[in-house]
Amino acid sequence: MSFAWSPGGRVQTVPMPTVKHVLYYFDGPKMVLAVDERGRQLLGVAADEDDEGTTRWVFAPAPPERLVPLLNTRTGLRALFDTGIVEVYDVAEPDVPAQSWSLAPDDVPEDLLPEPDAELPELEDGARAQLLAEQVRLVEQRSRVGRTRLYFSGRPVRGRRGISATFASDALRNYQHLVSLAYGYRRKGELRSTGPIPEREASALMLTEMPRGSVGFELVEDAEQERVTPTDLVGVISEVASLLDAAATNDTIYAERVAEFDQRIVGALNDFLSTLKKAEATLKLEAQNREYVFETERIVEAVDRTASTPRKEDDRPVTGKLIGFLPTDLRFELETPDRVIKGKISRDADLERLASFFRKRCTAHLQVITVERLGHVAEAFTLESVEDAAEKKRG
């Protein structure tokens, strides 16, 4: 073999990824969609050929979430090769193990990668429709399993190549703890102030991928990928991301979000954010198709906001008129002589009973979470139950 470029790093002899679809054929496949032995979907392009007929292939991770827009717009082919570990295979014969290297995109010569403005070849209509339907189905399947990506930047990260092992292990452990606490509360309700977290095993996330773009970690729930309904962890991962975002946003939004969790989570929240602050790291968090960015300023503010546990009042009776009632969104509005109190309806509330009080005077029983910081007080209200205002007076 005599290629102009010899990859560095460790060479392995492994089977080429199994081709699932040929996207471009010209005297044999020249662009393919394949699955490797770890079950990852990869897009491969023929990149070079030596005098003896060995073809050099370059593969990039192509999760269905990224393939769907590529199939729809045909743009963004090169981006696949910029954001993951690139696999290079020298294939002399099909079905014979090939020499392969796992490399950072920067380590692969530019002339072996698709050009920045390269388009996906125009597929025949039937082939495109079939492939798109398959990928959309895969996206739906994947969204039923808990999955999140954390991309770190800042001082613990060295370019796109490395990250402090101490920082990475601390950050991931604290993040996992946060998720486990949230999951335990969703499954079992109130947590004990210390001690084991209920159903911790079921909330375990597996490190499955290290996407590039700063240094990133993909964490995936260890669950059956073919399931037809989402796991509980899918929702919990979104809620935790939303809580982190709220902690970095303002007191009012934070008070409302944190009210949905057992207050033991506040310590875990602070531990995770403090790990980032101490290391001078920043974070981009992807959870179920949403992206949250935590720059230094937001992290510092979030650490301060989560430094103390909010005050929790389990039952504050307030008399007023229930002027807003949204059972689907679980939101309410209660008009009192002083102001209109807005908030969430408890998941455990009796919605039929609440509906019977709509536009009537009543005594609402509210759980109140109070965040006090820098002389400012933010309260979040959760409506637990209602009773006739007269009943309350008699009581």
Question: In the complex, which residues of this chain contact another protein (CB under 8 A)?
Answer: 21-31, 45-49, 53, 55, 58, 77, 94, 111-115, 117-125, 127
Q: Are 268 and 176 in contact (CB under 8 A)?
A: no
Residue 107, amino acid: D
CB of 47 to another protein, least distance (A): 5
- Residue 171's contacts (CB-CB under 8 Å, 6 or more residues apart) are 150, 152, 272, 275, 276, 279, 281
- Which tokens hold the place of 379? 């309260």
Q: Which of 75/289 has CB closer to another protein?
A: 75
Considering the complex, state which of residue 45 and residue 368 has its C-beta at the smaller distance from another protein. Answer: 45
For the CA atoms of 92, 93, 97, 102, the dihedral, rounded to the nearest 10 degrees, stands at: 40
Residue 180 three-state SS? helix
Closest to another protein by CB, 46 vs 330, is 46
> For another protein, which is the closer residue by CB, 117 or 190?
117
- Cβ closer to another protein: 123 or 389? 123
Tell me the β-bridge partners of 320: 362
In this complex, which beta carbon is closest to another protein, that of residue 117 or of residue 314?
117
Taking the least distance from each CB to another protein, the nearer of 77 and 157 is 77
> C-beta of 158: minimal distance to another protein in Å?
29
Closest separation between CB of residue 70 and another protein, Å?
A: 11
Q: Which two tokens stand for residue 267?
A: 């310590």
In the bound complex, what is the minimum distance in angstroms from residue 39's beta carbon to another protein?
A: 22
* Beta carbon nearer to another protein, 128 or 331: 128
Minimum CB distance to another protein, residue 237 (Å): 35
Q: Is 235 helix (H, G, I), strand (E, B) or coil?
A: helix
Nearest-Å Rg of the Cα atoms of the chain is: 26
- Single-letter code of the amino acid located at 186: R
Q: Which amino acid is at 304?
A: D
Give min distance, CB of 44 to another protein, in A: 10
Closest separation between CB of residue 128 and another protein, Å? 8
Cβ neighbours of residue 47 under 8 Å, at least 6 residues apart?
Answer: 56, 57, 58, 88, 112, 113
Contact, 207 vs 188, CB < 8 A?
A: no
Residue of 327, 239, 210 whose CA lies nearest to 230: 239
Structure tokens at 119: 């388009």
Rounded least distance, CB 94 to another protein, Å: 6
List all residues 6 or more positions away from 31 whose beta carbon is below 8 Å from its beta carbon: 22, 23, 24, 43, 44, 45, 46, 121
The CA distance from 221 to 141, in Å, is 13
CB of 264 to another protein, least distance (A): 52
78 vs 187, beta carbon nearer another protein: 78
Q: What phi, psi does 305 have (nearest 5°)?
A: -65, -30
